[in-house]
Structure 1
Amino acid sequence: MEGSSLKREFYLLCKVIIFAIIAIFVVKNFLLSPSVVWGESMQPTFSDQDKIIVNKVSTIDRFDVIVFHAPDSENYYVKRVIGVPGDHIEYKNNILYLNGKAIDEPYLLSENSSSNWSLQTGDFTLEELTGYSLIPENTYFVLGDNRGNSNDSRFFGLLHENAVIGEVTFRFYPFNNIGRPR
């Protein structure tokens, strides 16, 4: 009797381990995934080597921070969605005008900051950069928060929604900055 009981427990343990492996596979590949921020293009929101969680099933909205397949390299980029389909974007004197309305960008460093990171976005209109007066369906306009040091839609153009991996929903490292991005 002891042998069959031990066998049952072993099979039960195997089932639990297999179920856990399948659950981890499903969550990592279809729901949530860890990632790493590389570079300084998202400072001050994220720093180089920050560890983040990407929600792969989140609806992408304006001002969300997203991870996507870079259109100009084999890398992944982390950037902020500034414009969604139907939006008109213009920057004038480092002020974002979204559909004609000036928008505050509190995630950028203040001009009084002692940091070296640049606020300089540069003057442009969506039409000057992309040839479109409004962001077309299925595309986004993305910018890094460190505008002076970011390869973003100003350089590679509009981002197709198929390139999006997901929304950054949580930072889990460094430990003193754990939490949701601002």
Structure 2
Amino acid sequence: MAKQKNEWLDWLKALIIAVIIAVVVRMFLFAPIVVDGPSMQPTLHDNDFMIVNKISYRFGEPEQKDIIVFHATESKDYIKRVIGVPGDHVEMIDDTLYINGEIVDEPYLDSEKEALADGGNLTNDFTLEDLPGNYEEIPEGYVLVLGDNRRNSTDSRYIGLIPEDQIVGKVQLTFWPLDRIGLTK
């Protein structure tokens, strides 16, 4: 009887330790997230399941082209691509991205640009000064984000610059559906 009781206590301890480890990993290191909507197509699709690295920006800063998750409202998180970082001046002219006056290649948009049936631009022209806040350059502690589906994305063009303290983490891995499993680029 005592041996059976000790075995149950060992199992209970192991279960409690596993739950504590899972909670710590989920709260501080990594978290699963599901894409809700088409704003990041063709890179990410509605209902893709991904892993968000919550610690990447504790040791570094967001970089251009990172895909991030951030708190857009108290109850809603958005997934977007970082386009501009502190010190940058951003403008879009005739579907060409300029950062600090230099052309920046966006290969993740090539298929979408080629597929434009109406011959128009994927991204409407704008400058940083046109966005909410009327900044001349992105201030410290903020990033400018855009969705890859530029014609259907609520991003910095509408909601303004994103405070870095609202960033949840960097999207690094898609794990569902299985045919889309892989590192996120």
Question: Is residue 61–residue 81 contact of structure 1 (8 Å, CA) maintained in 2?
Answer: yes
Letter in 2 for 1:158: L
**Deviation of the 1:74 alpha carbon:** 3.0
Aligned to 1:100: 101
Q: Give structure 1 regions of 4+ aligned residues with deviation exceeding 3 angstroms.
A: none
Alignment equivalent of 1:16, drawn from 9, 14, 17:
14
Letter in 2 for 1:75: K
Gaps of 5+ in 1: none
Alignment equivalent of 1:150, drawn from 150, 153, 165:
153
**Deviation of the 1:9 alpha carbon:** 1.7
Cα deviation digits, residues 57-92 of structure 1 (max 9, x gap) = 112222100111114x73211100001111111111
Alignment equivalent of 1:7, drawn from 2, 5, 8:
5
TM-score normalised by length of structure 2: 0.90
Identity %: 48
**Deviation of the 1:109 alpha carbon:** 3.7
Gaps of 5+ in 2: none
Alignment of 1:49-88 (within 5 A): 49-59=47-57, 60-71=62-73, 74-88=75-89
Cα deviation digits, residues 138-157 of structure 1 (max 9, x gap) = 11100000000000000010
* Distance in 1 separating the partners of 2:147 and 2:116: 19
Question: Is residue 56–residue 170 contact of structure 2 (8 Å, CA) maintained in 1?
Answer: yes
Tell me the SS of whatever aligns to 1:147: coil
**Deviation of the 1:113 alpha carbon:** 2.7
Q: In the superposition, relative to structure 1, how do residues 128 and 61 fare at CA in structure 2: closer, same or farther (>3 Å)?
A: same
* Distance in 2 separating the partners of 1:125 and 1:33: 34
**Deviation of the 1:160 alpha carbon:** 0.6
* Distance in 2 separating the partners of 1:174 and 1:83: 30
Question: Is residue 94–residue 121 contact of structure 2 (8 Å, CA) maintained in 1?
Answer: no
Aligned to 1:128: 130
* Distance in 2 separating the partners of 1:52 and 1:108: 20
Cα deviation digits, residues 119-154 of structure 1 (max 9, x gap) = 521111112213111100111100000000000000
Alignment of 1:169-180 (within 5 A): 169-180=172-183
Letter in 1 for 2:52: V
TM-score normalised by length of structure 1: 0.92
Cα deviation digits, residues 1-46 of structure 1 (max 9, x gap) = xx22222222111111000000000001111000100110000000
Tell me the SS of whatever aligns to 2:130: helix
* Distance in 1 separating the partners of 2:45 and 2:110: 13
Tell me the SS of whatever aligns to 1:13: helix
Tell me the SS of whatever aligns to 1:146: coil
